[in-house]
Amino acid sequence: MDLGIGRDHVPDPIAGVVIAGGQSKRMGNRIKASCLLGGQTLLERVTERLRCQVDSLLLNINDDASKFKHLSVPILPDCCAGQLGPLAGLLTGLEWARESLPGCEWLVSVPVDTPFLPGDLVRRLIHGQISANMDAEVAVVSSAGRRHPVCALWSVASAAPLRRALVIDGLRKVGDWLACLRVCEVPFDGAAVDPFFNVNNLTDLKKAEQNLLLLS
């Protein structure tokens, strides 16, 4: 994959994971990944926006995987039992990349509820990591004055320490895990619609429909 940013500095391949393993408690009885926006499910939208930016993509889904086979993307449930939150989805992606993609050193994670992801997300995250003199273990996005910790570029080497933190130490929040790592922040500002707008509930879904009209 040619990202146009001097690939002699960027290890191949770049992996991606869409984290869709949550329980969607704020969406009523709906599975968030299956919610429709502009004729596509959230999962279809996010998959479409990320798959063209990475070399290999994984869907982290704890629901019935047969519902999403039409996407022709590998699907894995959380590698840890107990509904441990997005960190479990991240760990699933990191361990998949480490074990299935020889030479893969970096993984981009995104949540399923961000349907307006920018088309240059991966390129700019890699730029941010390079600008940090290759010292950062994670490059995380920010917009509208706040971080979005699940939208990030992670070192695959962080898989083992994350498993210890999640399974042994009981860590649950992505922000707490970021505090354990060397982090660089990559801002995404100035867009008409926040590219990291989260669809957390039905009200947000209606707002997303309005945002879609603004972008059309």
Task: Give phi and psi for 82, each to the nearest 5.
Answer: 110, 10
Q: What is the 3-state secondary structure (H, E, C) of the chain?
A: CCCCCCHHHCCCCEEEEEEECCCCHHHCCCCHHHCEECCEEHHHHHHHHHHCCCCEEEEEECCCHHHHHHHCCCEECCCCCCCCCHHHHHHHHHHHHHHHCCCCCEEEEEECCCCCCCCCHHHHHHHHHHHCCCCCCEEEEEECCEEEEEEEEEEHHHHHHHHHHHHHCCCCCHHHHHCCCCEEEEECCCCCCCCCCCCCCHHHHHHHHHHHHHHC
The partner residues of 187 in beta bridges, in order of sequence, read 142
Q: What is the pLDDT of residue 10?
A: 54
Q: What is the pLDDT of residue 12?
A: 72
Q: What is the pLDDT of residue 39?
A: 94
Residues 6+ apart with CB under 8 A from 95: 79, 159, 163
Q: What is the pLDDT of residue 3?
A: 38
* pTM across the whole model: 0.91
What is the spatial distance between Cα 78 and Cα 90, in angstroms, rounded to a whole number? 9
In percent, the amount of the chain with pLDDT more than 90 equals 72
Q: What is the pLDDT of residue 191?
A: 86
Lowest-pLDDT range of 8-17, 20-29, 101-110, 114-123:
20-29
> Quick one: average pLDDT of 79-96?
93
Lowest-pLDDT range of 44-48, 64-68, 104-108, 156-160:
64-68
Q: Domains in the chain, start-ordered, CATH in brackets?
A: 7-215 (3.90.550.10)
pLDDT, tens digit, 9 for 90 and up, residues 192-213: 899 999 999 999 999 999 999 9
pLDDT, tens digit, 9 for 90 and up, residues 111-146: 999 999 999 999 999 999 888 766 789 999 999 889
pLDDT, tens digit, 9 for 90 and up, residues 44-64: 999 999 999 999 999 999 988
Chain mean pLDDT for the chain: 89
Q: What is the pLDDT of residue 4?
A: 38
